[in-house]
Amino acid sequence: AADPDTTWVHLAPLLRTDFPAETLALLSARGHRVAYDGQGLVRADRLGPLIEDRHFPADLLLHLDVLKLAEDEAVVVADGPFDA
């Protein structure tokens, strides 16, 4: 298994299955701070047209130190728009 010699690890998945929760837990357990790009979090792992939904496994969020979301991704994760 990879064990980079760094404090921070930034992951930018294309689909939610690119980095399983077990991988995130292992990186965290090894002392890494994990930054995660949320585009993959909201992208369904299926063939065909791109589908965004909020059916990601909740345990993907447990070992993240930073979750970077664009506004449209945040609306999907929050299951609705934000009030101003």
Residue ranges covered by each domain of the chain: 9-78
d(CA 67, CA 34): 9
pLDDT grade for 84, boundaries at 50, 70 and 90: low
For 67, the enclosing helix (H) or strand (E) is strand 66-68
Q: Which two tokens stand for residue 44?
A: 């369904």
Residue 62, classified by CB atoms within 10 Å of its CB into exposed (0-12), middle (13-18) or buried (19+), is: exposed
pLDDT of 1 > 80? The answer is no
| pTM as predicted | 0.83
Alpha-carbon distance values, 79 to 7, 52, 76, 82 (Å): 32, 11, 5, 10
